[in-house]
Structure 1
């Protein structure tokens, strides 16, 4: 691993920072970006680095949490990977975990004199978080956001003005920019911002929190997968990367699994899946459990079947390490004779990964964009 990609020095303070999981970090990737550096440097130059109990949103790998750890921050995330990265990097730098209050993305938030926000990928998530911030902020609250220049668009600035109030930006440094906002706009009640729509050809309605993948419509990979799900009657089933829970919901509707575990690294996804099963199939909710986990790291039970629609990106980075961990974790949890069934874009190298792990695979179905692949643990 290249040392230049793990060591960050700012204002005579050095942190050793790794992405999570460290064993899968590519040597070209870092656990911070130029926006993190710009924000931390600004806090030092302005004296805000000394403000106690700042509120930190969307710190992808814990860089902000580590540099501000002695200020007892309240650290807000939707991502289990981000949470695990923070804990890993605090330990790596000899910083106490107890000094940081970790809060999930749907929990109430305390007042804070300083709010630091890394711009999320999802505009819906940004709107939800800006509403949260405005509820707890006064005109004296320092609100600073950071992101890449191409994220700081006129439409994003308009959201800050709508939900927070007076807004201005910094000059660009290393293709990053800061946003400064004051709480002068009228408060709009922060809400879970659930978006709902009917699932076609079913009696079900799907509901989605702000940061759920394919929140606005059924994604085309899942649509194809729904036509080729396995028979799981009486089996112990895991829906890995469950998103809104649509695959698990369909398995419950069409089969009678002995148990169904729905897993995602997004807290909002897990809670959306829980909501969708409890409202659409309340009589079957008792066989389900919902786990916020990085792949299957936080899941203990074994399975007869794992279904998975793996992502091929982490935030804004294209990567295949998430799919690889999903496949290896599934192999480890599957009982002998158990099946992993996945959907993936045909151009991705999933067949070779499955062949390497399972010794072989079958193509269940394919169209011009996706393949449904099955691998059985021998």
Structure 2
């Protein structure tokens, strides 16, 4: 069980009524609190929870309209996302208790200071390298407008400026990361058809692809609900149309793709995970047409070419700069 969940169970007497667990891990916690419901913005974790606890977990960027006696936020990585989530919960919890639980290395003590805006916060427990904080919400904030929190920036691309909008918690919030910038320079000569932007984030790559290849169908896929919402905002800001879907990795993608492009993620919370990218490389061929192509950017220290060649075909390095490489492989 997740150590944050273990800390909650040490204080189980505090959570005896209707309870909202926001950002909860995909473990057994809901089974210990029969009146609890979850709110998740991670499609993979939501799917696991929904399979085990059908109908007891909501997926999206806002909490479901449900009356609860208390709410618990599992601390996310992003400070901006933490602020949004705390305000979204506190706006609904006037006079009731709001809890914050997280790992010390994730910055729980710093994040707990944000509770002071709602009332007198206190630390209830410290165990498993985690802390649990509580506040009775005496000062309810206004319900935050998520879209108003989007950061906008403009990319001067060869075919004209591209507007990008990113929401709190989305990868490279408010700026273009080095890997994506390099990949944007290598979008030439893609096969016509159906193109997938895997791990679309704020929608930079997918929007650029749709504008570069207007006759191609573009699908944008991400595991994070805030990324999906960001991509839709970016498309709308540029008067572009594409399919934006949430799902847990390449298994959620369509088949019959002419190309898969990606700046794949390798962080989840404060932890490093390569599984999603490695699974993409193993399964990409199943989603591509017989002449389909994979093109991705990755940190140069990651040993992806052998995996690409094992499961897809000959791997070509299109670029090597600033600690990143662009890999291209066509289906054998």
TM-score, L = length of structure 2: 0.92
C-alpha deviations, 1:124-148, integer Å up to 9, x for none?
Answer: 1111111111111122x22222111
Greater CA deviation, 123-132 or 294-303? 294-303
Name whichever structure is richer in strand by fraction: 2
Hey, what does 1:307 align to over in structure 2? 261
Asked if residue 112 in structure 1 is aligned to residue 89 in structure 2, the reply is: no
Greater CA deviation, 107-116 or 218-227? 107-116
Hey, what does 1:65 align to over in structure 2? 30
CA distance in 2, matches of 1:230, 1:83: 37
C-alpha deviations, 1:225-282, integer Å up to 9, x for none?
Answer: 11112434632100010111101111122223420000000111111111111221x2
User: In structure 1, the residue corresponding to 2:85 is in which secondary structure?
Assistant: helix
CA distance in 2, matches of 1:195, 1:97: 35
CA distance in 2, matches of 1:157, 1:136: 19
Asked if residue 35 in structure 1 is aligned to residue 4 in structure 2, the reply is: yes
CA distance in 1, matches of 2:210, 2:78: 30
CA distance in 2, matches of 1:322, 1:233: 24
Deviation at 1:334, TM superposition (A): 0.3
- Extract unaligned runs of 5+ from structure 2: none
Hey, what does 1:84 align to over in structure 2? 47
CA distance in 2, matches of 1:75, 1:371: 39
CA distance in 2, matches of 1:267, 1:244: 11
Asked if residue 165 in structure 1 is aligned to residue 128 in structure 2, the reply is: no
Hey, what does 1:195 align to over in structure 2? 151
User: In structure 2, the residue corresponding to 1:290 is in which secondary structure?
Assistant: strand
CA distance in 2, matches of 1:107, 1:148: 23
Seen in structure 2, the aligned counterparts of structure 1 residues 55 and 171 have a Cα distance that, compared at 3 Å, is closer
Matches within 5 A, 1:288-367: 288-367=242-321
Q: Is the 8 A contact 1:76 1:104 kept in 2?
A: yes
User: In structure 1, the residue corresponding to 2:252 is in which secondary structure?
Assistant: coil
TM-score, L = length of structure 1: 0.82
Hey, what does 1:126 align to over in structure 2? 82
Q: Is the 8 A contact 2:101 2:108 kept in 1?
A: no
Deviation at 1:189, TM superposition (A): 3.1
C-alpha deviations, 1:14-34, integer Å up to 9, x for none?
Answer: xxxxxxxxxxxxxxxxxx322
Deviation at 1:324, TM superposition (A): 1.0
1:205 to 157, 163, 176: 163
Deviation at 1:36, TM superposition (A): 1.2
User: In structure 1, the residue corresponding to 2:251 is in which secondary structure?
Assistant: coil
Asked if residue 274 in structure 1 is aligned to residue 243 in structure 2, the reply is: no
Q: Is the 8 A contact 2:255 2:286 kept in 1?
A: no
C-alpha deviations, 1:329-354, integer Å up to 9, x for none?
Answer: 32210011110000000000111110
Hey, what does 1:21 align to over in structure 2? none
Aligned-pair Cα RMSD in Å: 1.9
- Extract unaligned runs of 5+ from structure 1: 1-31, 91-95
Q: Is the 8 A contact 2:258 2:289 kept in 1?
A: yes
For this pair of structures, how many residues does the alignment match?
A: 328
User: In structure 1, the residue corresponding to 2:161 is in which secondary structure?
Assistant: coil
Matches within 5 A, 1:7-22: none
Q: Is the 8 A contact 1:310 1:326 kept in 2?
A: no
